[in-house]
Amino acid sequence: MSDETMPTAKPPAGEYRFSLREMLHEVKVERRDSQFGRQLVDATEIDKMFSKSKRKKKKAR
C-alpha cells in the first residue's frame, strides 16, 4: 500500500484540565436526567403489570 492510502495515526492524548465546578454541574444534570428517565420507565412497567392483571380478571369471569 502506498502511504497516501494508509490511515494516519492520531497523536497521543495530551494533558487536559477541566473546571471542577463544570464537571460537578454535568454530573448533577446527568443524575437528574437519568432519574427522570428511570421514573418514566418504572411508571410504564407498573402500568403494564396492572393492565395485565385487569385483563386476567376479566377473562376469569
Per-residue pLDDT, 22: 93
Cell numbers placing 41:
420507565
Within-domain flag for 13: no
Element (H, E) at 57: helix 20-60
Per-residue pLDDT, 25: 94
Domain total of the chain: 1
Range of the domain at 44: 21-59
Per-residue pLDDT, 4: 61
Q: What is the pTM of this model?
A: 0.36
Within-domain flag for 35: yes
Digit-coded pLDDT (tens) for 10-50:
777 777 788 999 999 998 888 888 777 677 777 778 888 88
